[in-house]
Structure 1
Amino acid sequence: MKELKIIGIDHGNASIKTHTGFECKSGFTILNDEPISQKRLLQFESKYYSIGSERFPVKADKTLDEDFFVLSLGAIAESIVDVANGLVGERDIILSAGLPIVNYGRMKERFKSYFIRNNIGFIYESREYLINIKDCFVFPQSYSALLTKFSEYKNLPLVNVCDIGGGTCDCFVIEYGLLNTSSCFSLPVGAIHLYNNIIQQALALGYHLTESQIQQMILGKQPTFKDEGLFKIVNDTATRFTQKLLSQVGEHGFELRLNPTVFCGGGSILLKQILEENNTGYTEVIEDSFTNAKGFEMLAKQKLLKR
Structure 2
Amino acid sequence: MIGGVTGLLVLAATPIGQVRDAPPRLAAELAGADVVAAEDTRRLRRLCRDLGVEPSGRVLSYFEGNEHARTPALLEALGAGERVLLVTDAGMPSVSDPGYRLVAAAVDAGVPVTAVPGPSAVLTALAVSGLPVDRFCFEGFPPRKAGERQRRLAGLAHEERTLVFFESPHRTAATLAAMADAFGGDRPAAVCRELTKTHEEVRRGPLSELAAWAADGVRGEVTLVVAGAPPAAVPADPAAWRAAVAELTDGGTTRKEAIARVARAAGVPKREVYDAVHREDAP
Choose between structure 1 and 2: higher strand proportion: 1
Q: TM-score, normalised by structure 2?
A: 0.31
Comparing both chains, which one has the higher relative contact order based on Cα–Cα distances under 8 Å and sequence gaps of 6 or more?
1
Choose between structure 1 and 2: higher helix proportion: 2
